[in-house]
Amino acid sequence: ADATGQTEPIQATLKELARGELPWRWLNTRPWSARAPVRLGLVCDYLAIGGHERMLVNMLKGLDRERFHPAVYAFRGGELVQTIEDLGVPLTLGSQGDPFAWRHNWTKRDVAEKTAWIDGLAKALRRDRIDAVVNFAWPYGVQSARDAGVEVTIERLDGPGILGKIEDKSSFDEVVCESR
């Protein structure tokens, strides 16, 4: 979210998606009606306190549950796991390890868990029949969504430090950036 916690740009994109107004290929091939909620996957690295993580929670709080059925996919948990569970949103974690291990003690086990999660994320998205993914600057989220057959991918950015995490944005259908 921006400094005030606003989520208007991405909420507007999701509202257009729910109304079938965006010319994405899957809207023409998927049986569509106002009664068929969009199965929305929100993908991030971890759920500890941070800008992307707060934005994810704000999105979950603001989503129209008649139009969207959200699910969260994160490599590791953090302080926001309980908040997401309290909202009644399905949550799939790749590891119970320390979300900040990359800062101090990245071990062979961490590497193995991350590799397994990257390989398993596409399976989880496919299992849950996700229609659209909002990716929060996690480099492996885009390819996993494509491997799962998810046809709509949206990149969510909130600052210049995050912009380069995924250098090639050409595979996204939408990029939402609340930053200069």
- Distance CA(94)–CA(148), nearest Å, equals 16
Residues with Cβ within 8 Å of 29's Cβ and at least 6 positions away in sequence, in order, are none
Q: For residue range 75-103, list pLDDT tens digits in order.
A: 989 899 999 999 999 999 998 887 777 77
Confidence of residue 167 (pLDDT cuts 50, 70, 90): low
CA atoms within 13 Å, Cβ hemisphere of 91: 25
Average of per-residue pLDDT across 8-17? 63
Confidence of residue 164 (pLDDT cuts 50, 70, 90): low
Q: How large a percentage of the chain has pLDDT more than 90?
A: 28
- Distance CA(68)–CA(116), nearest Å, equals 28
Lowest mean pLDDT among 28-32, 62-66, 92-96: 28-32
Average pLDDT across the chain, whole number: 77
Residues with Cβ within 8 Å of 127's Cβ and at least 6 positions away in sequence, in order, are none
